[in-house]
Amino acid sequence: MAIHSTAIIDPKAEIAADAEIGPYCVVGSDVKIGARTHLMAHVFLEGKLSIGEDNVFFPYCSCGVAPQDLKYKGEASETLIGNGNKIREFVTIHRGTAGGGMVTAIGDDNLLMAYVHVAHDVIIGSHTILANGVTFAGHVTVDDYANVGGLSAVHQFVRIGAHSMVGSRSVIKQNVLPFSITATQHESAIYGANRVGLQRHGFAQEEIEPLQNAFRILGHANLNTTQAIARIEEEIPQTSAVRELMAFIRGSERGFIK
Protein backbone atom coordinates (compact mmCIF):
# COMPACT_ATOMS: atom_id res chain seq x y z
CA MET A 1 0.00 0.00 0.00
CA ALA A 2 1.44 3.37 -1.02
CA ILE A 3 0.38 6.08 1.43
CA HIS A 4 2.14 9.45 1.36
CA SER A 5 3.58 10.57 4.67
CA THR A 6 1.41 13.71 4.69
CA ALA A 7 -1.89 11.84 4.28
CA ILE A 8 -4.17 11.59 7.34
CA ILE A 9 -5.80 8.15 7.51
CA ASP A 10 -8.10 7.09 10.31
CA PRO A 11 -6.91 3.71 11.62
CA LYS A 12 -10.44 2.31 11.28
CA ALA A 13 -10.54 2.98 7.52
CA GLU A 14 -10.38 -0.13 5.33
CA ILE A 15 -7.92 0.32 2.48
CA ALA A 16 -6.90 -2.32 -0.07
CA ALA A 17 -3.24 -3.29 0.00
CA ASP A 18 -2.64 -2.00 -3.54
CA ALA A 19 -4.57 1.27 -3.25
CA GLU A 20 -2.55 4.48 -3.52
CA ILE A 21 -3.08 7.59 -1.39
CA GLY A 22 -1.24 10.75 -2.33
CA PRO A 23 -0.14 13.87 -0.46
CA TYR A 24 -2.45 15.65 1.98
CA CYS A 25 -5.42 13.32 1.52
CA VAL A 26 -7.82 12.84 4.47
CA VAL A 27 -9.65 9.52 4.88
CA GLY A 28 -12.25 9.07 7.62
CA SER A 29 -13.02 6.12 9.87
CA ASP A 30 -15.98 4.64 7.93
CA VAL A 31 -14.34 4.76 4.52
CA LYS A 32 -13.59 1.62 2.50
CA ILE A 33 -11.27 1.87 -0.53
CA GLY A 34 -10.95 -0.95 -3.06
CA ALA A 35 -8.03 -2.36 -5.00
CA ARG A 36 -5.91 -0.10 -7.23
CA THR A 37 -7.98 2.98 -6.44
CA HIS A 38 -5.78 6.08 -6.49
CA LEU A 39 -6.28 9.29 -4.49
CA MET A 40 -3.94 11.72 -6.22
CA ALA A 41 -3.65 14.56 -3.67
CA HIS A 42 -5.76 16.74 -1.36
CA VAL A 43 -8.73 14.35 -1.57
CA PHE A 44 -11.21 14.45 1.35
CA LEU A 45 -13.27 11.32 2.12
CA GLU A 46 -15.57 10.89 5.11
CA GLY A 47 -18.86 9.39 6.29
CA LYS A 48 -19.98 5.85 5.56
CA LEU A 49 -18.34 5.64 2.15
CA SER A 50 -17.61 2.53 0.09
CA ILE A 51 -15.36 2.89 -2.97
CA GLY A 52 -14.71 0.04 -5.38
CA GLU A 53 -11.71 -0.83 -7.52
CA ASP A 54 -9.67 1.09 -10.13
CA ASN A 55 -11.09 4.53 -9.39
CA VAL A 56 -9.05 7.74 -9.70
CA PHE A 57 -9.79 10.75 -7.50
CA PHE A 58 -8.15 13.94 -8.73
CA PRO A 59 -7.02 16.76 -6.42
CA TYR A 60 -9.45 18.77 -4.28
CA CYS A 61 -12.51 16.56 -4.65
CA SER A 62 -14.59 15.63 -1.59
CA CYS A 63 -16.86 12.60 -1.25
CA GLY A 64 -19.19 11.28 1.41
CA VAL A 65 -19.60 14.56 3.25
CA ALA A 66 -22.86 15.60 4.95
CA PRO A 67 -25.59 16.85 2.59
CA GLN A 68 -26.68 20.47 2.34
CA ASP A 69 -30.30 19.44 2.95
CA LEU A 70 -31.47 21.28 6.09
CA LYS A 71 -33.64 18.27 6.96
CA TYR A 72 -30.54 16.15 7.48
CA LYS A 73 -30.09 15.43 11.19
CA GLY A 74 -26.95 13.34 11.18
CA GLU A 75 -28.53 10.01 10.27
CA ALA A 76 -26.05 7.27 9.33
CA SER A 77 -26.59 7.47 5.59
CA GLU A 78 -23.97 6.40 3.07
CA THR A 79 -22.27 6.91 -0.27
CA LEU A 80 -21.50 4.08 -2.69
CA ILE A 81 -19.03 4.41 -5.58
CA GLY A 82 -18.41 1.51 -7.95
CA ASN A 83 -15.42 0.62 -10.11
CA GLY A 84 -13.38 2.41 -12.75
CA ASN A 85 -14.68 5.93 -12.17
CA LYS A 86 -12.74 9.13 -12.77
CA ILE A 87 -13.62 11.85 -10.25
CA ARG A 88 -12.00 15.08 -11.43
CA GLU A 89 -10.92 18.23 -9.61
CA PHE A 90 -13.30 19.93 -7.14
CA VAL A 91 -16.10 17.36 -7.58
CA THR A 92 -18.40 17.18 -4.54
CA ILE A 93 -20.45 14.08 -3.71
CA HIS A 94 -22.77 14.18 -0.68
CA ARG A 95 -24.17 11.22 1.22
CA GLY A 96 -27.87 10.32 1.34
CA THR A 97 -30.66 11.32 3.71
CA ALA A 98 -33.53 9.62 5.51
CA GLY A 99 -35.94 11.29 3.09
CA GLY A 100 -34.31 9.78 0.03
CA GLY A 101 -33.38 6.20 0.78
CA MET A 102 -30.23 6.92 2.86
CA VAL A 103 -27.81 6.49 -0.03
CA THR A 104 -26.09 8.40 -2.80
CA ALA A 105 -24.75 5.92 -5.37
CA ILE A 106 -22.51 6.02 -8.44
CA GLY A 107 -22.02 2.97 -10.66
CA ASP A 108 -19.05 1.98 -12.83
CA ASP A 109 -16.89 3.63 -15.49
CA ASN A 110 -18.26 7.15 -15.12
CA LEU A 111 -16.42 10.39 -15.84
CA LEU A 112 -17.29 13.27 -13.52
CA MET A 113 -15.45 16.31 -14.86
CA ALA A 114 -14.26 19.25 -12.77
CA TYR A 115 -16.71 20.99 -10.43
CA VAL A 116 -19.54 18.48 -10.84
CA HIS A 117 -21.86 18.48 -7.81
CA VAL A 118 -23.71 15.30 -6.85
CA ALA A 119 -26.21 16.12 -4.10
CA HIS A 120 -27.83 13.81 -1.56
CA ASP A 121 -29.72 10.73 -2.72
CA VAL A 122 -28.62 11.05 -6.35
CA ILE A 123 -28.34 7.72 -8.18
CA ILE A 124 -25.97 7.64 -11.16
CA GLY A 125 -25.74 4.53 -13.32
CA SER A 126 -22.70 3.43 -15.32
CA HIS A 127 -20.79 4.73 -18.34
CA THR A 128 -22.08 8.30 -17.97
CA ILE A 129 -20.22 11.50 -18.82
CA LEU A 130 -20.97 14.54 -16.67
CA ALA A 131 -19.19 17.58 -18.07
CA ASN A 132 -17.64 20.47 -16.17
CA GLY A 133 -19.89 22.25 -13.71
CA VAL A 134 -22.92 19.95 -13.98
CA THR A 135 -25.04 20.39 -10.84
CA PHE A 136 -27.55 17.85 -9.59
CA ALA A 137 -30.06 18.76 -6.91
CA GLY A 138 -31.11 15.98 -4.56
CA HIS A 139 -32.92 12.79 -5.59
CA VAL A 140 -31.88 12.91 -9.27
CA THR A 141 -31.51 9.65 -11.22
CA VAL A 142 -29.09 9.39 -14.15
CA ASP A 143 -29.41 6.22 -16.24
CA ASP A 144 -26.60 4.36 -18.02
CA TYR A 145 -24.68 6.01 -20.88
CA ALA A 146 -26.26 9.43 -20.33
CA ASN A 147 -24.14 12.46 -21.31
CA VAL A 148 -24.86 15.78 -19.58
CA GLY A 149 -23.31 18.93 -21.06
CA GLY A 150 -21.28 21.43 -19.09
CA LEU A 151 -22.84 23.97 -16.69
CA SER A 152 -26.22 22.23 -16.79
CA ALA A 153 -28.42 22.39 -13.69
CA VAL A 154 -30.82 19.53 -12.92
CA HIS A 155 -33.85 20.00 -10.63
CA GLN A 156 -34.53 17.59 -7.78
CA PHE A 157 -36.38 14.33 -8.53
CA VAL A 158 -35.61 14.55 -12.26
CA ARG A 159 -34.60 11.44 -14.21
CA ILE A 160 -32.09 11.57 -17.08
CA GLY A 161 -32.84 8.65 -19.42
CA ALA A 162 -30.35 6.11 -20.75
CA HIS A 163 -28.26 6.99 -23.82
CA SER A 164 -29.52 10.59 -23.76
CA MET A 165 -27.48 13.72 -24.37
CA VAL A 166 -28.28 16.98 -22.58
CA GLY A 167 -26.95 20.13 -24.22
CA SER A 168 -24.61 22.39 -22.27
CA ARG A 169 -26.04 25.20 -20.12
CA SER A 170 -29.42 23.48 -19.91
CA VAL A 171 -31.79 23.93 -17.00
CA ILE A 172 -33.60 20.60 -16.61
CA LYS A 173 -36.87 20.75 -14.67
CA GLN A 174 -38.55 17.65 -16.10
CA ASN A 175 -37.41 14.17 -17.10
CA VAL A 176 -35.15 13.76 -20.12
CA LEU A 177 -36.27 11.01 -22.49
CA PRO A 178 -33.89 8.09 -23.10
CA PHE A 179 -32.07 8.00 -26.46
CA SER A 180 -32.77 11.71 -27.05
CA ILE A 181 -30.79 14.88 -27.62
CA THR A 182 -32.43 17.45 -25.35
CA ALA A 183 -31.45 21.06 -24.61
CA THR A 184 -32.98 24.12 -22.99
CA GLN A 185 -30.60 26.96 -23.83
CA HIS A 186 -33.27 28.92 -25.70
CA GLU A 187 -36.43 26.85 -25.35
CA SER A 188 -36.99 23.33 -24.10
CA ALA A 189 -36.82 20.91 -26.98
CA ILE A 190 -36.04 17.40 -28.11
CA TYR A 191 -33.74 17.57 -31.11
CA GLY A 192 -34.26 13.95 -32.08
CA ALA A 193 -32.47 10.70 -31.38
CA ASN A 194 -28.91 10.75 -30.07
CA ARG A 195 -27.70 9.13 -33.30
CA VAL A 196 -23.96 9.39 -32.78
CA GLY A 197 -24.08 8.15 -29.20
CA LEU A 198 -26.34 5.25 -30.12
CA GLN A 199 -24.13 4.24 -33.04
CA ARG A 200 -21.07 4.31 -30.77
CA HIS A 201 -22.82 1.91 -28.40
CA GLY A 202 -23.75 -0.60 -31.07
CA PHE A 203 -27.30 0.38 -32.03
CA ALA A 204 -28.17 -0.54 -35.62
CA GLN A 205 -29.82 1.90 -38.02
CA GLU A 206 -32.94 -0.27 -37.86
CA GLU A 207 -33.14 0.55 -34.14
CA ILE A 208 -32.28 4.25 -34.41
CA GLU A 209 -34.73 5.23 -37.16
CA PRO A 210 -37.88 4.20 -35.25
CA LEU A 211 -36.65 6.25 -32.29
CA GLN A 212 -36.08 9.26 -34.54
CA ASN A 213 -39.62 8.96 -35.91
CA ALA A 214 -41.04 8.57 -32.40
CA PHE A 215 -39.32 11.78 -31.31
CA ARG A 216 -40.74 13.62 -34.31
CA ILE A 217 -44.24 12.60 -33.22
CA LEU A 218 -43.60 13.53 -29.60
CA GLY A 219 -42.08 16.90 -30.30
CA HIS A 220 -43.44 18.19 -33.59
CA ALA A 221 -46.86 16.68 -34.33
CA ASN A 222 -48.91 19.07 -32.16
CA LEU A 223 -50.31 16.15 -30.18
CA ASN A 224 -50.72 15.78 -26.46
CA THR A 225 -48.81 12.95 -24.79
CA THR A 226 -51.67 10.46 -24.85
CA GLN A 227 -52.31 11.10 -28.53
CA ALA A 228 -48.59 10.90 -29.34
CA ILE A 229 -48.20 7.56 -27.55
CA ALA A 230 -51.20 6.12 -29.39
CA ARG A 231 -49.80 7.25 -32.74
CA ILE A 232 -46.32 5.90 -31.99
CA GLU A 233 -47.73 2.52 -31.00
CA GLU A 234 -49.84 2.43 -34.15
CA GLU A 235 -47.31 3.70 -36.70
CA ILE A 236 -43.79 3.01 -35.37
CA PRO A 237 -42.15 -0.45 -35.22
CA GLN A 238 -42.14 -1.52 -31.60
CA THR A 239 -38.45 -2.25 -31.17
CA SER A 240 -37.09 -2.86 -27.68
CA ALA A 241 -35.78 0.73 -27.58
CA VAL A 242 -39.16 2.18 -28.57
CA ARG A 243 -40.87 0.06 -25.92
CA GLU A 244 -38.35 1.32 -23.36
CA LEU A 245 -39.08 4.88 -24.43
CA MET A 246 -42.83 4.34 -24.03
CA ALA A 247 -42.36 2.80 -20.58
CA PHE A 248 -40.21 5.75 -19.52
CA ILE A 249 -42.90 8.22 -20.64
CA ARG A 250 -45.66 6.36 -18.80
CA GLY A 251 -43.57 6.36 -15.63
CA SER A 252 -42.67 10.06 -15.76
CA GLU A 253 -44.75 11.55 -12.97
CA ARG A 254 -42.94 14.88 -13.34
CA GLY A 255 -43.60 14.96 -17.07
CA PHE A 256 -40.81 15.13 -19.61
CA ILE A 257 -39.20 17.68 -21.87
CA LYS A 258 -40.64 17.57 -25.38
Q: Please enumerate in sequence order all residues whose Cβ is within 8 A of that of 192, keeping only pairs 6 or more positions apart, or say none.
A: 180, 181, 212, 215, 216
Q: Which fold has domain 198-250?
A: Udp N-acetylglucosamine O-acyltransferase; Domain 2 (1.20.1180)
pLDDT digits (tens, 9 = 90+) for 57-99: 999 999 999 999 999 999 999 999 999 999 999 999 999 999 9
Strand 189-193 with 180-183, pairing? antiparallel
Of 185, 199, 122, which Cα lies nearest the Cα of 151?
A: 185
Reported as a pLDDT band with limits 50, 70 and 90, residue 186 is low
What local confidence, expressed as pLDDT, does residue 19 receive? 98
Q: Distance (Å, rounded) from C-alpha 234 to C-alpha 79?
A: 44
Reported as a pLDDT band with limits 50, 70 and 90, residue 208 is very high
Please, which residues bridge with residue 147 across strands?
129, 165
19: left (phi over 0), alpha (psi -120 to 50) or beta: beta
Which CATH number applies to 2-142: 2.160.10.10, 3.40.50.970, 1.10.10.10, 3.40.50.12160? Answer: 2.160.10.10
Position 212 pLDDT exceeds 70: yes
Q: Distance (Å, rounded) from C-alpha 131 to C-alpha 164?
A: 14
Q: Distance (Å, rounded) from C-alpha 220 to C-alpha 47?
A: 48
Reported as a pLDDT band with limits 50, 70 and 90, residue 220 is confident
- Angle at the Cα of 96 from the Cα atoms of 93 and 101, rounded to 5 degrees: 145
The domain ranges of the chain are: 2-142, 198-250
Q: Distance (Å, rounded) from C-alpha 182 to C-alpha 45?
A: 34
What local confidence, expressed as pLDDT, does residue 36 receive? 98
Position 188 pLDDT exceeds 70: no
Q: Distance (Å, rounded) from C-alpha 142 to C-alpha 138?
A: 12
What local confidence, expressed as pLDDT, does residue 221 receive? 81
- The average pLDDT across 100-128 equals 98
Phi, psi dihedrals of residue 147, rounded to the nearest 5°: -130, 115
pLDDT digits (tens, 9 = 90+) for 25-37: 999 999 999 999 9
What local confidence, expressed as pLDDT, does residue 185 receive? 77
Catalytic residues: 120-121, 138
The 3-state DSSP class for residue 129 equals strand
Q: What is the mean pLDDT of the chain?
A: 96
Whole-model pTM: value is: 0.96
pLDDT digits (tens, 9 = 90+) for 133-156: 999 999 999 999 999 999 999 999
Query: CA end-to-end span of the chain, whole Å?
Result: 51
Q: Distance (Å, rounded) from C-alpha 222 to C-alpha 225?
A: 10
Q: Please enumerate in sequence order all residues whose Cβ is within 8 A of that of 202, keeping only pairs 6 or more positions apart, or say none.
A: none
Lowest mean pLDDT: which of 4-8, 110-114, 127-131, 252-256?
Answer: 252-256
